[in-house]
Amino acid sequence: MGRFTRAGAIVGALGLVASLALAGCGDDEEQPKFVGGATPTVSTAPGQLATPNGPPLSVVPADGATNRPVSAEIGATLAGGGKVSAVTLTSADGKQVEGRLRADGSSWVPSAPLKYATSYTATVTATAADGSTSEGRSTFRTMAKPKSMIASGLYLFDDKEYGVAMPVVVEFNPGIPEKDRATVQRRMFVETDPPQPGAWHWVDGGRQAFYRAPEYWKPGTTLSVRIGLAGIPLSNGRYGNVDRAATAKIGRSFEMKVDNATKRMTVYEGGQVVRTLPVSLGKKKTPSSSGTMVIMEKKESTVFDTRDDPDPENRYVTEIDFAQRLTWGGEYIHAAPWSEHVQGRRNVSHGCVNVSTAHARWLFGKTRIGDPITITGTERRVAAGNGWTAWSVSWSDFIKGSALPVPSGGSGSPF
Transcribe 55-115 into DSSP letters.
--EEEESPTT--SB-TT--BEEEETT-EEEEEEEEEETTSPEEPEEE-TTSS-EEESSPPP
Catalytic residue among 25, 201, 350, 352: 352
Instruction: Output the pLDDT for position 1.
Output: 37
Q: How many domains does the chain have?
A: 2
CA atoms within 13 A on the CB side of 34: 9
Predicted model pTM = 0.86
The chain-wide mean pLDDT, for the chain, equals 87
The answer to whether position 329 is within a domain reads yes
Give 240-287 pLDDT, tens digit per residue: 999 999 999 999 999 999 999 999 999 999 999 999 999 999 999 999
Do residues 259 and 135 share a domain?
Answer: no
Instruction: Output the pLDDT for position 46.
Output: 47
Instruction: Output the pLDDT for position 352.
Output: 96
| Backbone dihedral angles phi then psi of residue 259, each to the nearest 5 degrees | -110, 115
| Structural domain boundaries, residue 363 | 253-393
Distance CA 348, CA 288 (A): 10
The answer to whether position 413 is within a domain reads no
Catalytic residue among 25, 201, 334, 350: 334
Which helix (H) or strand (E) is 357 found in, with range? helix 357-366
* pLDDT of 16 over the 90 cut: no
The answer to whether position 276 is within a domain reads yes
Do residues 388 and 268 share a domain?
Answer: yes
Q: Residue 25 catalytic?
A: no
For residue 29, the 8-state DSSP code is -
Answer yes or no: are the C-beta atoms of 59 and 45 closer than 8 Å: no
Distance CA 265, CA 375 (A): 9
* pLDDT of 187 over the 80 cut: yes
Distance CA 253, CA 164 (A): 6
Query: Final residue of a domain: which of 120, 141, 162?
Result: 141
Least confidently predicted of 21-30, 36-45, 157-166, 228-237: 36-45
Output the CA angle 288-257-351, nearest 5 degrees: 15
Instruction: Output the pLDDT for position 126.
Output: 95
Least confidently predicted of 171-180, 248-257, 308-317: 308-317
SS3 category, 253? coil
The CATH number of the domain holding residue 51 is: 2.60.40.3780
Answer yes or no: are the C-beta atoms of 88 and 123 closer than 8 Å: yes
The answer to whether position 194 is within a domain reads no
Distance CA 47, CA 152 (A): 36
Q: Residue 352 catalytic?
A: yes
Answer yes or no: are the C-beta atoms of 277 and 2 closer than 8 Å: no
The answer to whether position 338 is within a domain reads yes
Instruction: Output the pLDDT for position 415.
Output: 65
The CATH number of the domain holding residue 319 is: 2.40.440.10
| Overall average pLDDT of the 115-123 stretch | 97
Asked if residue 146 has a cis previous peptide bond (ω within 30° of 0), the answer is no
Do residues 257 and 388 share a domain?
Answer: yes
β-pairing verdict for 96-97 and 48-49: unpaired
Instruction: Output the pLDDT for position 8.
Output: 36
Query: Final residue of a domain: which of 141, 164, 181?
Result: 141
The answer to whether position 216 is within a domain reads no
The answer to whether position 16 is within a domain reads no
Length of the chain: 415
Query: Final residue of a domain: which of 122, 141, 160?
Result: 141
The answer to whether position 339 is within a domain reads yes
